[in-house]
Structure formats: C-alpha cells, structure tokens
Amino acid sequence: MVFKNALSWFEIPTKDLGRAQRFYEAIFNIQMTPLETPQIKMRLFPLEDPMGVGGAIVLNDSFYKPSNSEGPLIYLNGNPDVQGVLDRVEKAGGKILVPKTMISPEHGYMAMLLDTEGNRIALHSIPKK
C-alpha cells in the first residue's frame, strides 16, 4: 500500500477550547469551525479540499492530555515560510521552543512551539522554487 498522505486526521488536546481557538486563529490567520457532540468539543482547521488531511483542537478531559514532551509530534503546515507563523506565536500567548531551522535545501524548514495548552507543536515549510 502507498499513501497519498501518511496523515489523514489529527487532534490537538486543549484545556481551554476558547483560548486554544484564539491562539491558532491568531498565529495562522484562520477561522476555525465548531463541531460539538455530547462527548467532545472540537474546533476544526479549515480545509481547501475536504478529502485532504484535516484536524482539530479538541476538549475532552477524560480522553486527551496536553503534553510538551510526550506522545507524537505534529507538524503543521507553515507555508510559505514558518517565520511568518513564528512571528505571531508569542503575541498569541505561545512560546517558541525551536526557531526557524533549515532541515535541508530540498526539505525546507522546521520550527517548534509550545501552544497555550502546553502542547509542543512543530511547523514545516518548503520554499517555492
């Protein structure tokens, strides 16, 4: 089997859904969409293609625990340049853990941040040629 994308969906834990929503909307200049059921509350990242990779910030204290050191590390799309996102992180209440760093010329750049909920989140961008 060959995947078009290795990732199909992700969920980022929150302690305060409103605070997390304000943070991610501020650093990415986006509007998140609410989705709520009796068991879980989510705010969805916007998608251009509904069949593309999607994700959400999620509030469900009994199932999710934010972490700055454990569990998987999610790389969010920082195109066209991760620095543009990093420039908004501290003003939005987050902390930069790893500044913009070149991976390689063909693989672009990465950076890492700590969100308002205590999650370490990475960014990735590939410069246009």
Mean pLDDT, rounded, for 17-39: 95
Mean pLDDT, rounded, for 66-92: 93
Residue 15: C-alpha distances to residues 58, 63, 87, 117 (Å) = 9, 12, 24, 6
Does pLDDT of 46 surpass 90? Answer: yes
Cβ neighbour number for residue 7 with a 10 Å cutoff: 12
Instruction: Specify the pLDDT at position 123.
Output: 94
Mean pLDDT, rounded, for 34-58: 91
Mean pLDDT, rounded, for 95-121: 95
| pLDDT level of residue 122 (50, 70, 90 thresholds) | very high
Cβ neighbour number for residue 23 with a 10 Å cutoff: 22
């590939």: which residue's tokens?
Answer: 126
Mean pLDDT, rounded, for 93-115: 95
Compute the distance between CA of residue 111 and CA of residue 124 in angstroms, rounded to an integer.
Answer: 7
Instruction: Specify the pLDDT at position 78.
Output: 93
Cβ neighbour number for residue 38 with a 10 Å cutoff: 5
